[in-house]
Amino acid sequence: MTTPLHIGFIPLVDAAALIVAVDRGFAAAEGLDVTLIREVSWSNVRDKLNIGLFDAAHLLAPVAIASSLGLGHVKVPIAAPFNLGINGNAITVSAALHAAIMGEADGDPFDPMVTARALAHVVAARRKSGAEPLTFAMTFPFSTHNYQLRFWMAAGGVDPDEDVRLVVLPPPYMVDSLAGGHVDAFCVGAPWNSIAVDRGVGHILHFVSDILVHAAEKVLAVRQAWSEKNREVLASLIRAAFRAAEFIEQPDNRAEVARLLAQPDRIGVDAEVIQRTLDGRLKISPDGAIRTSHRYLLVGREGAGRPDPVQAAWLYAQMARWGQTQVSPEALKTAMAVFRPDLFDAALGLAAAADRSGSRSIGAFAGPAFDPDDITGYLRSFDVIRRAP
Amino acid sequence: MSAEQSPKIVIVDESPIRAAILEEGLREAGFTGVHHISEMQSLLARIYALDPDIILIDLENPSRDVLEQMFQVSRAVRRPIAMFVDHSDAASIQASVDAGVSAYIVDGFKKERIKAILDLCVSRFNAFAKLQDELDRTKSALEERKVIDRAKGILMKLKGLTEEEAYVLMRSTAMREKKKIGEIAQSILTASELLK
């Protein structure tokens, strides 16, 4: 007896645990008959999950929170019992903007404070000369990409709403838009940064792990009501994703994983490009320069799979910082309750952690250490901030 | 507000045929201010230039996420919009997602008035899907016709049969093997390729 499940995903490398769970048999071993449905927009994934066309989905962590709070859309409480990826995004800039930033950079170009201050100089010079503001693309209003770009540039004194144009662009359009000069930079997940570099139109300026050491990116999302009615099925799904993530993290399996992910009905790009991101060994410049980081994308290792409510609180704080909502203790509680380490622990037969000892520091390069119990105080420490209307 | 008389509607769709079908339906229903955007580059700028009350977009379009930006408070956004989703109207949402269309309404437009527009979208989108389906079926029927004709020719030549006899032979084989005549014809073509 197998349980049929419909699960939506966006073709990105951080859907790996889900895709490998299905295509390498971990889901079947748990008695699940999963049909993966490739989607073209986060809006579609969210809506189809909300109305029950999908049982589960690969979802942007902030969308799961926004949906649970009813921000920007109809309110549907979501449960996120598994983290599909930690980090994994990068900021890619055009050759011209790269040259401009490097021309102003005073220090280590991999230090985001150095580049953010350099960006502030570039922005000021453009304004003085009457040039159009720079355009930065990201993937969704409620996205890690949006908050990571904002966090970075604001630390250098650039107001993301006043000093530049920050626009949403679907990931498959980003490389063409950069090549065509419609955008000057973007923040997106794998494989799109590498594709821009391979096409010779972009330089990877930062891995997001430069900005935040440990940042929840995509989650396995289900409707909270569904999670209550289908505890056993969900536990099976969590186990399948967990085993797949363990499989992916074995370096010997990477070539096979990359091949599975490269299939046309999955991510549909070259296996070699996918393997680069799994290995954290990326070509960052069209001249062939390679940068290696063991923090580029974490699928499963360092306990990446276990959802951490402190991460949800940090994302909620970003929504408040940028005027998408106002801070309220109830909403914060709701946001944190979206991330469900209890379901993760139960599925894997782990003893529940009594406190937040499992939390890893977010490790932001700027601002004070994040304290979920004092978001108002945390936000007060930033100069650039936007209030909800 | 003039929008109460004839709201300005923008259709975002890369399929010109589907957009035309929808536009025609809207005009027939008395909505005269209908515009079609098929080019996704600088989508928001195009939308702002038209300043619509309602935006309709197909769900196959990745640029749906671009529209979601209009919820965001930012300098780029002039009039906030809301997606036509209401807690009370699950059936409408289901129907529109099934049909593959989504509607956004700009702040200030009466929610009750969009129901009729959305119903129309759903029926036109479904009509288009049916049309597409029929077209696909006609195409494959034509393909099958060609395959059967070629298989008939091979049988006539190899076995010295008349056209009628060749057809009867294929049909009776298909019935005996519980297969479609097109499949039998295809096997004949494959076999004759192999035996060449």
Q: What is the CATH T-level fold of the domain B138-194, as seen in this structure?
A: Arc Repressor Mutant, subunit A (1.10.10)
Chain A residues near residue B71 by CB distance under 8 angstroms = 72-73, 141
Mean pLDDT in residue range A142-148: 97
Four-way CATH pick for A3-86+216-267+300-358: 3.30.420.10, 3.40.190.10, 1.10.1200.10, 3.30.420.40: 3.40.190.10
Look-up of token digits 């009594």: A354
- Under the banding of pLDDT at 50, 70 and 90, the label for residue B3 is very low
pLDDT beyond 60 at B87: no
Q: Does A302 touch chain B (CB under 8 A)?
A: no
| Parallel/antiparallel/unpaired status of strands A56-60 and A3-9 | parallel
Q: ω before A191 within 30° of 0 (cis)? A: yes
Chain A residue at shortest CA distance from B91: A51
Look-up of token digits 């079609």: B36
Helix (H) or strand (E) holding B81, with range, is: strand B81-83
pLDDT beyond 80 at A46: yes
Question: What whole-number distance in Å separates Cα of residue B172 and Cα of residue B194?
Answer: 23
Chain B residues near residue A10 by CB distance under 8 angstroms = none
Chain A residue at shortest CA distance from B60: A40
Predicted complex ipTM: 0.89
**Chain B interface residues (partner A, CB cutoff 8 A):** 40-42, 44, 59-69, 71-76, 83, 85-87, 90, 93-94, 97, 102
Question: pLDDT tens digit string along B104-132?
Answer: 877 666 767 777 888 888 888 888 888 88
> Do A93 and A184 meet the contact criterion of CB atoms below 8 Å apart?
yes
Check A74 against B60: CB less than 8 A apart: no
pLDDT value for A280? 95
pLDDT value for B2? 45
Mean pLDDT lowest for which of A115-129, A245-259, B136-150? B136-150
What ranges do the domains of chain A cover? 3-86+216-267+300-358
Question: pLDDT tens digit string along B4-39?
Answer: 568 889 999 998 998 999 999 999 999 989 999 998
pLDDT beyond 60 at B83: no
- Under the banding of pLDDT at 50, 70 and 90, the label for residue A353 is low
Q: Which strands sit side by side in the sheet containing A202-207, from one edge to the other?
A: A165-168, A135-138, A185-189, A89-94, A202-207
Cross-strand bridge partners of residue A58: A220
Chain A residue at shortest CA distance from B59: A44
Check B74 against A173: CB less than 8 A apart: no
Cut 0.80: pTM above it? yes
Four-way CATH pick for B2-133: 3.40.190, 1.10.287, 3.10.450, 3.30.70: 3.40.190
